[in-house]
Structure 1
Amino acid sequence: MGQQPNELTPDAGPWHRWGYELRQFREARQLSQQALARRALIDRSHLGRFERAERPVPKHAAITLDDILDAAGALVRGWDSAEREAPQDCSVPVSRAGTATHGASTRGHGASAPETLAMNAVVRAGSLGDDTDTVVVPARIHGRILFVPVPRRVVLASGIAGLAATAMPAATPATATELADMGSPLEHFAQLRRVMIQTDNLIGPRHVLPALQQHLGSLATRRRSARGTDAIELLALETRYEELAGWFAQDIGDERTAHGHTAKALDASHITGDTDLTAYILGRKAQLAVDTGHPADALGLAAAARRTARPGSRLEVIAVLHEAHARAVLGEGSEAHRAYDTALALLGRAGSDGVWGSWLDAAYISTARARSLAALGEYEQAAAGFDSALAVLPSAYRRDRGVYLARAARAHAGTGNVTLAARIGGQAVGIAAETGSARIFGQLDRLDQALAPATGEDGVAEFRASLDRIVLHPA
């Protein structure tokens, strides 16, 4: 006789109720835990603990399970409900194996209580045979490309280009003796950050994030031993490291770690008293909110960023741009275009803010508007905007070229020119494989869905096959 499943207690708390609903859907589809785990690329033991409310459930896991079980959004809505109802001290146990990732809080926009999740171990060293040591990678699940946590050993065994880099354990942070011999730590860490930003655009965040998190740990160690002005200056730099780590984590599809680093950056910016820094990070939180499906929240964050920014500064322009795209995603076309016009007018009057928004110009705003035009379904204008941006983009911006190519391809598909869309999309596939950028993969997934009905057209089947070759597939 087979082992009887553990009896669940849905009335014990919100996550117990969610686990009970998960089991109900699984059994209704006549799937064993093993079968569902294999399809969802989730360890079977983790799935069992999800059902028993013994392990924190990542939001992306809820989305994946909802899709596989054809739950019509019930599991996602249940996850959101449990997230709101769960007590702040968390109703599920926290694994001791990794309660912090370089000190990043996992509490932030859209993040759940500060429990440790498998995906937070994206660069933590560990046994290659340990299925709790995971990395977040793109996988084909029910026809869609989703970013899911996968055991590190599986990624190493896959041999898929662009994915193995993050599967390697991170290097050991500098020792106290090495830090003491550093000379000027502020300039040292500032230079490292500049190099990592340049390297990211060439080879992508999947290769750079482990090094950045290593240096972030070393910087925090140095800052804790400093006092006075040195401590404040190091904390300001640490804040920028946290923000950059959040950006990199988002761009490899690890949204929870991105929220954690960005929330940590916002907290630290308040401690430094640097309102410019706070305004910039509020803008980043707005960007992260809209990119992760919360445009209404992004509007509030963008408004807060604008209130915090100095009037007439480039930081104010950045805040208005985040508002503009959030409105476009919400379908508020007239308001979005007015916001872009406001941004252009503000930019014309803005002075130089040093490091803040030095890259802002009319061409950048035009490209940002093209993205919003695509969100509004105005594909002809969006395609023209991206084509113009690609024509002048410096070759050093390799990852950004991949993003622009993927967005341009999706826009051309929207105009009905599927042959051109497939050809441009094929170029983006190569850069996605090199960099592992979730922003590129996300657009390629949308392009893949748009081109699916036109598989017989020139180049479409080849594009879809090339995309399939760079993502994992459930067994």
Structure 2
Amino acid sequence: MGQRPNDLTPHASPQHYLGAEMRAWRTQRGLSLGKLSESILFNTSYMARVERGGQAASADLVQAYDDALGASGSLVRLHTSILQGISLEALPKRDVANREPHVANSDVALAGESGLQAPSEEGMSIPVRSDDGRIIFVSLSRRALIGALGAGAAIAAAPDLSAAAKAAPRSDLIASGADPIELLQATRKVLIDNDNLFGPHRVIPTVQQQLAAIKELRADRRGTDRRKLLHLQTQYSELCGWLYQDLGDFRAAQHWMQEALAASSMAGDEELTTYILARRSQLAGDMHDPIEAVDIAEAAEDRATPKSRLAAVAATYGAHGHALRQDHVMAQRAYEHARELHAAMDADPNSPWGVWLDAAYIDLQRAHSLSALGDHRGAAGGFRDAITRLPAGYHRDRGVYLGREAVSLARAGEPEQAATVGLQALSIARETGSDRIARELAQLDSTLDQWRTVPGVADFKDALTEAVLRQA
């Protein structure tokens, strides 16, 4: 018997309302998440989080739902309305033709109005304002709320991007008097800094605006300038792919990585193309596609200049592919190979690609692989050692690795130490709004359930509850 779907809470926020509408269309068409996923090529976990309201839907996902389910644009229009800030009260109440009433139009997921319930392992109740102005209580799962922590914190914490990173259509770039190519290069650095500090939510729209400006500029440029623009288009597309990868929207990430690969080929930059291939191997690893991760990494390493940093980057991502295949021996050999390449490489100060690769980064990736191989104690030790060597500027990444260390400690049977490290990761999650940290915290929260009465674990769960309630 299939698992009963989680109750939805459409009145909790416009994001929850959209998720409820998306599920209503899917169930009306008689499709499971798995079946729809096969059709639209999105990750089922991501789709489920969106339907529950635990993660914001990307425009690509909404469009895919609308097309596959024959929604005639209604889901896209609803998503657009939400992005424009239209309130719940103004949103349409029925979209699916001749369907049965669903949770978006009923109180099936609403808790009683007697008071705020204490958090539970199944979920918690929080007060929200209904369409008619009443205060009601809705039931939200802990996992959905934790998943929403990153999105809410990012919106609350991120300031406006600096003037250099605001939308820059072609005419504005030219009218500014500055060299548009230099301005676009500087803007990319600002966007990367904002992503490191606050996560991808505030950055993606501006990145896509810059991409549109680059394509406009290409229309009347020739020769060297045009190649420079194609080079920039590759860099911006790769950045966009990374931002979506960080959000867990792997289909969108694949799209932008393919765009980056095409632009790098047109630019004729072999080194940049090699870097994009290595990044595609990393993406395949995040998508738990070990064969693709290994094969693309080997192709990237074959293309890389001997003794270059990119060869070591590609070998590192390929090693994780072997771990995903549960091949302990090949994973160990591959990491030894990556270390050898790193030790023997001729550092090229003029190459901007993979400059973050150092011994600590390789060790962090190996710790991640040890976790995939089930060596949780070894993974925890690897994360701890590598985190102490992480550069100070990698604030959000430190939170991700702290979260992974905490999960590994919990799985190794060290709940109090896991909770202590988890609190450190939670602090960074609050500051940065990182979805990657939020996903690690959700895993930790679930893994620590069996030790919920341990004082340190109880403190972590209380702090996590406070954080997600603040974002709700």
> Shared topology, TM-score over 0.5?
yes
* 1:394 paired to 2:391: yes
Q: Note the residue ranges of structure 1 that are not aligned, 5 or more in a row.
A: 1-23, 70-82, 84-89, 99-115, 133-138
Alpha-carbon distance between aligned partners in 1 of 2:6 and 2:306, rounded to the nearest angstrom: 60
1:325 to 292, 308, 320: 320
Give the equivalent residue in structure 2 for 1:50: 26
Task: Measure how far apart 1:96 and its partner are.
Answer: 6.2
Alpha-carbon distance between aligned partners in 1 of 2:407 and 2:5, rounded to the nearest angstrom: 34
Change in 2 beyond 3 A, CA 1:252/1:408? same
Give the equivalent residue in structure 1 for 2:235: 240
Equivalent residues of 2:297, 2:314 under 8 A apart: yes
Give the equivalent residue in structure 2 for 1:282: 277
1:178 to 172, 183, 190: 172
Change in 2 beyond 3 A, CA 1:274/1:259? same
2:206 to 199, 203, 211: 211
The within-5 A match list for 1:112-151 is 125=84, 127=86, 144-145=143-144
Letter in 1 for 2:183: H
Change in 2 beyond 3 A, CA 1:25/1:127? same
* 1:429 paired to 2:426: yes
Equivalent residues of 1:202, 1:396 under 8 A apart: no
Letter in 2 for 1:196: L
2:444 to 447, 450, 454: 447
Change in 2 beyond 3 A, CA 1:299/1:131? farther
1:335 to 330, 333, 336: 330
Q: Note the residue ranges of structure 2 that are not aligned, 5 or more in a row.
A: 52-63, 93-121, 124-139
1:205 match: secondary structure: coil
Change in 2 beyond 3 A, CA 1:166/1:190? same
Task: Measure how far apart 1:333 and its partner are.
Answer: 1.3
The within-5 A match list for 1:3-402 is 42-51=18-27, 62-63=44-45, 125=84, 127=86, 144-145=143-144, 160-164=152-156, 173-182=167-176, 183-353=178-348, 354-402=351-399
Equivalent residues of 1:402, 1:428 under 8 A apart: yes
Change in 2 beyond 3 A, CA 1:174/1:293? same
2:459 to 453, 458, 462: 462
Change in 2 beyond 3 A, CA 1:409/1:29? closer
2:194 match: secondary structure: helix
Alpha-carbon distance between aligned partners in 1 of 2:199 and 2:471, rounded to the nearest angstrom: 25
Task: Measure how far apart 1:167 and its partner are.
Answer: 13
Task: Measure how far apart 1:124 and its partner are.
Answer: 5.8
Equivalent residues of 1:40, 1:64 under 8 A apart: no
Alpha-carbon distance between aligned partners in 1 of 2:296 and 2:219, rounded to the nearest angstrom: 30
Alpha-carbon distance between aligned partners in 2 of 1:389 and 1:25, rounded to the nearest angstrom: 42
Change in 2 beyond 3 A, CA 1:274/1:131? farther
Equivalent residues of 1:145, 1:441 under 8 A apart: no
Equivalent residues of 1:205, 1:435 under 8 A apart: no
Alpha-carbon distance between aligned partners in 2 of 1:146 and 1:295, rounded to the nearest angstrom: 30
Letter in 1 for 2:411: G
Task: Measure how far apart 1:66 and its partner are.
Answer: 7.3
Letter in 1 for 2:318: E
Task: Measure how far apart 1:166 and its partner are.
Answer: 8.5
Change in 2 beyond 3 A, CA 1:245/1:123? farther
Change in 2 beyond 3 A, CA 1:44/1:474? farther
1:424-457 per-residue CA deviation (whole Å, 9 max, x = no partner) reads: 1011112112222222122222222221100111
1:422 match: secondary structure: helix
Change in 2 beyond 3 A, CA 1:465/1:59? farther
Give the equivalent residue in structure 2 for 1:111: none
1:416 match: secondary structure: coil
1:380-414 per-residue CA deviation (whole Å, 9 max, x = no partner) reads: 33222222222233332210110121112122223
Equivalent residues of 2:211, 2:233 under 8 A apart: yes
Equivalent residues of 1:173, 1:217 under 8 A apart: no
2:203 match: secondary structure: helix
Change in 2 beyond 3 A, CA 1:313/1:128? farther
Give the equivalent residue in structure 2 for 1:404: 401
Task: Measure how far apart 1:230 and its partner are.
Answer: 0.9
Change in 2 beyond 3 A, CA 1:278/1:469? farther
Equivalent residues of 1:203, 1:398 under 8 A apart: no
2:257 match: secondary structure: helix
Identity of aligned residues (%): 36
Alpha-carbon distance between aligned partners in 2 of 1:425 and 1:67, rounded to the nearest angstrom: 22
Change in 2 beyond 3 A, CA 1:264/1:336? same
Equivalent residues of 1:232, 1:272 under 8 A apart: yes
Task: Measure how far apart 1:311 and its partner are.
Answer: 3.0
Give the equivalent residue in structure 1 for 2:127: none
Equivalent residues of 1:53, 1:92 under 8 A apart: yes
Letter in 1 for 2:420: R
Letter in 2 for 1:173: A
Deviates more, 1:158-167 or 1:358-367: 158-167
CA RMSD of aligned residues (A): 4.4
Aligned length: 401
Alpha-carbon distance between aligned partners in 2 of 1:159 and 1:271, rounded to the nearest angstrom: 35
Letter in 2 for 1:451: L
1:7-45 per-residue CA deviation (whole Å, 9 max, x = no partner) reads: xxxxxxxxxxxxxxxxx979x88999989x999865444
Give the equivalent residue in structure 1 for 2:131: none
Alpha-carbon distance between aligned partners in 2 of 1:374 and 1:467, rounded to the nearest angstrom: 23
Alpha-carbon distance between aligned partners in 2 of 1:395 and 1:32, rounded to the nearest angstrom: 41
Give the equivalent residue in structure 2 for 1:87: none
